[in-house]
């Protein structure tokens, strides 16, 4: 088995221009997976982000709370907030979901920008309980593969 074929991709936020405010990404249902990765990709960054953190909730429409240790802050280091010089780069959050984890079923990413910023959020759910076999189960519209 090829590990990367045992994942589901979820668009949390299609590429969008945020103009000095908060984006509203879609929550991701982590049922059936033991690990989640959020990749936040940036185009032009007009001003440093003021909020970027992962949140969780038991229901998709409920009240989300921040996950300890997964809030970006400051302007330097790996856990920093995106700065204007980070245009064309990505930031990553990793979350264990499996046995022994206390994570809730739905995850989301909160992001607020200081000026017009192009951003996109992609989730990769991995370590599936059952291997996805179709494009839809993999969270994509089309899927090509060769042996």
Report d(CA 130, CA 140) in Å as an integer. Answer: 17
Domain ranges of the chain: 3-128
Q: What is the pLDDT of residue 25?
A: 86
Q: Which residues contact 41 (CB under 8 A, 6 or more apart)?
A: 89, 90, 119, 120, 121, 122
Q: What is the pLDDT of residue 64?
A: 95
Low-confidence stretches of the chain (pLDDT beneath 70): 1-2
Q: What is the pLDDT of residue 134?
A: 87
Domain 3-128 class, CATH top level: mainly beta
Report d(CA 71, CA 51) in Å as an integer. Answer: 8
Q: Residues 57, 64: contact at Cβ < 8 Å?
A: yes
Q: What is the pLDDT of residue 1?
A: 56
Q: What is the pLDDT of residue 118?
A: 95
pTM of the complete model beyond 0.85 = yes
The string of pLDDT tens digits covering residues 39-59 is 999 999 999 999 999 999 999
């Amino acid at each position: 088995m090829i590990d990367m074929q045992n994942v589901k991709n979820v668009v949390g936020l299609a590429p969008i221009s945020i103009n000095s405010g908060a984006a509203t990404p879609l929550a991701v249902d982590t049922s059936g997976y033991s690990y989640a990765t959020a990749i936040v990709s940036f185009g032009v960054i007009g001003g440093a982000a003021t909020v970027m953190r992962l949140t969780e909730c038991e229901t998709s429409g409920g009240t989300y709370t921040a996950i300890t240790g997964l809030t970006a802050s400051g302007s330097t280091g790996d856990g920093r907030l995106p700065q204007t010089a980070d245009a064309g780069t990505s930031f990553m959050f990793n979350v264990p979901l499996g046995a022994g984890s206390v994570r809730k079923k739905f995850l989301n990413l909160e992001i607020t920008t200081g000026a017009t910023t192009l951003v996109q959020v992609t989730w990769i759910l991995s370590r599936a309980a059952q291997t996805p076999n179709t494009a839809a189960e993999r969270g994509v519209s089309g899927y090509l593969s060769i042996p």
